[in-house]
Structure 1
Amino acid sequence: MSEVVSTPPLDLPLVGAWLEAHVPSFRGPRSAERIVGGNSNPIWRLEAASGRYILRTQPAGALLKSAHALDREVRVLQALRGSAVPVAAVHALCKDLDVTGVQFYLMDFVAGEVHRDPRMPEVARERRAQLYAAAIDMLATIHRADIDALGLRDFGRAGHYYQRQLHRWTQQFRTALPEGEPTMEALIAALEKDLPPDDAEPVLLHGDSRLDNLMFEPGTERIAAVLDWELSTLGHPLADLGQFLAVQALPYDYLLPGLAGIDRRAAAIPSIDEQAARYFEATGKAPRDMRFYQAFAMFRQAAMSAGLKRRAELGTAVAESALHFGKTLDVFARVGLDLLEGRARR
């Protein structure tokens, strides 16, 4: 067993028996294979006589308050099912810790392509801009979702989104890393001085908007499913757009690869300004300066990385990469400062 990773044991016979008792269409569990990827909730590919599924569980060990809330994931996925936002069907959520020690839920397996490298080397050059356009259009579709019709009006607090989020993530960062980190502290101070006006109606936020959280139908620009809703909430729409754009400013050789140092024109990848313009056109909103929103996204990534470092040091991380993210959280903070001060390439 790794010194930093602790995967909750999965007792397939017990889990399978619970699923057969609570999911009418499920029968005959055969195998469960851990899918490596992500640093939050462990994911398993479950094979059964009735088909292939995804099982998502909480991590082992003590959990931070409000973190790893599978019930929130399940709620938003069930609300979106059948809407213009494609998601996998959820079959059941188990909160009984006696089954396998952690909460878990079962969802359909969705086949498709996930583009983890934003350069898309595996994609024909002439298709890359179309895939980025599809991603931006899906983000706009999420933000147009009718939260009242979906029953999600109470899915998050209204008003002062950035003020609340800055306070929350700063607290979590300082709890996880009490010794602090100079670049991160500089970014926090800069963001506190540059808070934008509270001028937008709350929308459904994905919370972790990135190219690799989209499942595309193979060989097409059609999105089969939007993945990983753990951080979803209600809030300011530019938080999601800022996240989608900001991660592209990371170094291309970082663990979470970006596009810094890449010739976008040569790679046929739209610029940050072109992507933002498409979003504003799709939503009918006036264009905005995106520097704060991108910098805030990097601040939040850095704060989450501090939490990953803490879990890794406790031996309860979900993936080996947790410790690396934690030790290099200054990368996120530095990129955030560069974005806020306009030094990052567009």
Structure 2
Amino acid sequence: MRINAIALLLALLLAGCDQPPAPEQKGFAGMGNQAQAFTPVVPGRVFSFPADHGAHDGFRIEWWYVTANLKDQNGNDFGVQWTLFRSALNANPQQPGWANQTVWLGHAAVTSASVHHAAERYARGGVGQAGVQLTPFDAWIDDWRFVSQASDPLSDLQLSARDKNFSYQLRLTSSRPLVLQGDKGFSQKSEQGQASYYYSQPFFQANGTLQIDGQTYTVSGPAWLDREWSSQPLTANQTGWDWFSLHLDSGEHVMLYRMRQKDGAPYLTGTWIAADGQTQTLHAGQIQLVPQDTASVAGRSMPVRWSIAIPEKHLDIRINALNPQAWMNLRIPYWEGPVRISGSQGGQGYLEMTGY
């Protein structure tokens, strides 16, 4: 679940743009402070496309999140991340110009087996520096763009970002249907009912170029889009999450997340995505998700090797980070990077870990 979004936006939501930061709150306690006036997430929403590719005014937080597992012509592995976050500072109707109450945040990263670079951008809404429009579809912050000229925006898109140590230009295409996560897009995050609206496009194929430290690579591979929006997705007891998006060699896909808590067992759920796009919600009793080896990353111990078993799907795999040091050393730091899959199936995917 884009994870990363809630931890990253927390500082902005608590501080606003024109006020000093609020005192630090441990975990995600601050997420409940201002949610009441925003639109709640409730079961039964009927999704509408392409409208739901755009922004959802009235909700507190939202993100457009892309990851890609790429190879060059020599078989070298790379990962790419691109994320745009929208944060409403209050629930009032949005104002034009500099009075606008929306904050936009962009994250971009590239990863190889030996290198990880990450960058961030911030923007105020209402002045054209960042935003999302539907016709034609365009999500941008500064010159980072996720844009399409197609009548079906998610069938053919261009993705780009650049910073001083990296850049990438990718074309993402798919003729496959979108996937609604959870209960027809209602994605629960706790036993108390916190939730988001959540859909994905796990069937993208990416092609393009990637530049790292002055070296250019021609790359291709599978990509995954996550879209979520919510107003209060977590409880004060939840301390962080571990999120997996996995492309299996069989053509099947798996999304899993584990919401860790101060007290009690983690909240664990996921989605099994068949090769034809049919989905099945996975509940905690169906999933065995166990951290294995750790690595010292940015002064903390991070589980960079995992085992995952879903017995009814005959899945028993190991997840290994391509680069254990894939630390997003940004204003709000977290771990995010590509992973390799071995065991009963091969494959590749992405892992995000927050709150460690």
| Fold match (TM-score > 0.5) | no
- After TM superposition, the score normalised by the length of structure 1 is 0.29
- Normalized per residue, the structure richer in helix is 1
**Structure possessing the higher relative contact order (Cα contacts under 8 Å, 6 or more residues apart):** 1
